[in-house]
């Protein structure tokens, strides 16, 4: 995408990383994410039918981000859910296995050199993926307007971005 101060989504903030773009789904997730902030793509969020916004604290003075549980389309898939270099003592009910004998059916994407870094890993399923959505992506002129409308409706707030300012109100 853009690495320009005129970019309506991230402005010049993402310049030092060459701008931002949408990454293809990874780590067992079925939705795209922003290469700069990690936000779920607004069109992918709008395509989900069962979610509600859990708003983050307004540390920037405005509702800049919310979290959402996105149902996993492969809830039986096993993932690494934790790791330790010592004796496993946490994650009650977790299944711990030696890091050097992880079965092939466990999704290890994002865990580079796991056997060299850890002695034990816990494995389990993810009924839902925990995504975040940065509301600045509602300013993306390339996004589908119907998707932007759906995200705002479900989140409960309507946003307007004008002259570098953010305005919001209850969605009615």
* 166 to 7, 9, 137, 152: CA distances (angstroms): 14, 11, 12, 14
Asked if 54 contacts 42 with a C-beta cutoff of 8 angstroms, the reply is no
Could you identify the residue written with the tokens 């570098």? 164
For residues 129 and 21, give the distance between their C-alpha atoms in angstroms, rounded to a whole number: 21
User: Among 55-59, 117-121, 168-172, which is the least confidently predicted range?
Assistant: 55-59
Asked if 23 contacts 31 with a C-beta cutoff of 8 angstroms, the reply is no
For residues 138 and 110, give the distance between their C-alpha atoms in angstroms, rounded to a whole number: 28
pLDDT tens-place string over residues 106-135: 999 988 888 899 999 999 999 999 999 999
CA 12 centroid distance within chain: 22
- pLDDT band for 72, please (50, 70, 90 cuts): very high
Residue closest to 12 by CA, chosen among 39, 37, 165, 20: 20
Strands (E), 12-103: 22-23, 33-34, 54-55, 65-71, 78-84, 95-98
pLDDT tens-place string over residues 15-34: 888 899 999 999 899 999 99
- Total Cβ atoms within 10 A of residue 131: 21
pTM of the model: 0.85
Residue closest to 10 by CA, chosen among 26, 32, 34: 34
For residues 62 and 107, give the distance between their C-alpha atoms in angstroms, rounded to a whole number: 37
């Amino acid at each position: 995408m853009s690495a320009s101060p005129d970019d309506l989504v991230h402005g010049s903030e993402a310049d030092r990383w060459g701008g931002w773009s949408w990454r293809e789904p990874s780590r067992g997730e079925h939705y795209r994410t922003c290469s700069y902030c990690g936000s779920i793509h607004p069109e992918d969020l709008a395509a989900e039918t069962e979610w509600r916004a859990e708003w983050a604290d307004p540390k920037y003075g405005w509702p800049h981000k919310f979290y959402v549980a996105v149902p996993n389309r492969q809830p039986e898939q096993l993932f690494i859910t934790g790791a330790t270099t010592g004796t496993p003592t946490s994650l009650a009910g977790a299944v711990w296995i030696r890091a050097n004998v992880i079965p092939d059916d466990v999704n290890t994407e994002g865990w580079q050199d796991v056997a060299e870094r850890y002695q034990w890993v816990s494995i389990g399923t993810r009924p839902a993926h925990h995504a975040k959505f940065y509301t600045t992506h509602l300013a993306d002129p390339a996004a589908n307007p119907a998707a932007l409308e759906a995200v705002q409706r479900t989140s409960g707030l309507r946003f307007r971005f004008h002259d570098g300012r953010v305005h919001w109100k209850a969605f009615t």
